[in-house]
């Protein structure tokens, strides 16, 4: 009789054991896999001109040895639940997952991140869209391009006689700041400044030595950058030499 009572108690406890030992929550312990690939977009701020348009010169390559993070479930407030490094060709896999919703992400060079979401079945492989992370000194920065024209007043006295200022040094600094960067104009009198802070006001200037007295005069313009990743086309900065 005692053996029979013990058997009844054991069978009655089975549903509770099953309830606490099995779960449908996302995480490890299943047969599903999430796979993907990470590409690195190299951006050091070089700018190319195509007609009237400007664009950053970027190179996209597979990103090896990059940390990829996974978040279990739909709680994207979590930092991460697991991480793995990409292989030599930028690929990654999170294996042995249960079915459900997941988020995977990798970080840009400026500590922002690119996230992809995935819904896994109970088994099989779910591929996420490629992750493109940005790397380089121009990541998260903006750019300004413009032109410089010069009027040699001793020879001409009409505003239409301004000519492109070739190989002239151009300076830039953020308003209220002391740090100065400089570059030279190209063969068309154009200047290019990248690696600038987004949505910030800058002063741009050139310096011209006056022939009649040797005084160096600065000709200035104010420009504003756009959002990160944008190239703003500024106006023409005009200088005179007397």
How many folded domains does the chain comprise?
A: 2
Burial of 80 by CB count in 10 Å (0-12 exposed, 13-18 middle, 19+ buried)? middle
How far apart are alpha carbons 47 and 231 in whole angstroms?
A: 9
Tokens of 161: 């006689």
172 with 220, same domain?
yes
Q: Are 36 and 70 in contact (CB under 8 A)?
A: no
Mean pLDDT across 165-192: 95
131 with 183, same domain?
no
50 with 131, same domain?
yes
Question: How many Å separate Cα 155 from the centre of its chain?
Answer: 48
> Do the domain assignments include residue 2?
no
Can you say whether residue 148 is alpha, beta or left, with left for phi > 0 and alpha for psi between -120 and 50 degrees? beta
Q: Which residue has the tokens 């060709």?
A: 89
28 with 126, same domain?
yes
103 with 62, same domain?
yes
The answer for residues whose C-beta is within 8 angstroms of residue 210's C-beta and 6 or more apart is 216, 217, 241, 242
- Helix, strand, or coil here: 110? coil
First CA to last CA distance, the chain? 119
Mean pLDDT across 6-25: 47
230 with 163, same domain?
yes
**Domain CATH code at residue 225:** 2.60.40.10
pLDDT of residue 21: 41
- Helix, strand, or coil here: 128? coil
Domain that holds residue 31: 23-135
Reported as a single tens digit per residue, the pLDDT across 25-48 is 899 999 999 999 999 999 999 999
On the question of pLDDT at 210 being above 70, the answer is yes
Residue 11 banded pLDDT, cuts 50, 70, 90 = very low
- Cβ neighbours, 10 Å, residue 55: 12
The answer for residues whose C-beta is within 8 angstroms of residue 79's C-beta and 6 or more apart is 69
Reported as a single tens digit per residue, the pLDDT across 95-152 is 999 999 999 999 998 888 999 999 999 999 999 999 999 999 999 999 999 999 998 8
148 with 200, same domain?
yes
Question: Which of 100, 135, 170 is a domain's end point?
Answer: 135
pTM for this one? 0.75
36 with 131, same domain?
yes
pLDDT of residue 80: 93
87 with 109, same domain?
yes
């Amino acid at each position: 009789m005692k053996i029979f009572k013990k058997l009844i108690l054991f069978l009655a406890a089975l549903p509770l054991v099953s309830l606490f030992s099995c779960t449908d929550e996302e995480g490890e312990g299943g047969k599903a896999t999430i796979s993907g690939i990470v590409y690195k977009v190299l951006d050091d701020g070089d700018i190319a001109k195509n007609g009237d348009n400007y664009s950053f010169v970027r190179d996209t390559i597979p990103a090896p040895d990059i940390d990829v993070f996974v978040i279990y479930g739909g709680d994207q407030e979590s930092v991460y639940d697991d991480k793995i490094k990409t292989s030599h060709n930028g690929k990654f896999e999170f294996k042995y997952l249960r079915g459900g919703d997941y988020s995977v992400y990798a970080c840009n060079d400026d500590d922002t991140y690119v996230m992809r979401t995935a819904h896994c079945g109970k088994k099989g492989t779910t591929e996420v869209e490629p992750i493109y992370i940005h790397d380089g000194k121009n990541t998260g920065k903006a750019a300004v391009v413009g032109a410089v024209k010069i009027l040699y007043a001793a020879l001409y006295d009409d505003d239409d006689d301004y000519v492109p200022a070739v190989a002239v040094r151009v300076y830039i600094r953020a308003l209220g700041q002391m740090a100065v960067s400089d570059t030279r104009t190209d063969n068309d009198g154009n200047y290019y400044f990248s690696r600038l802070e987004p949505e910030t006001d800058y002063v741009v200037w050139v310096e011209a030595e006056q022939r009649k007295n040797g005084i160096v005069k600065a000709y200035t313009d104010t420009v504003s950058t756009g959002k990160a990743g944008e190239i703003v086309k500024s106006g023409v900065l005009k200088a005179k030499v007397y």
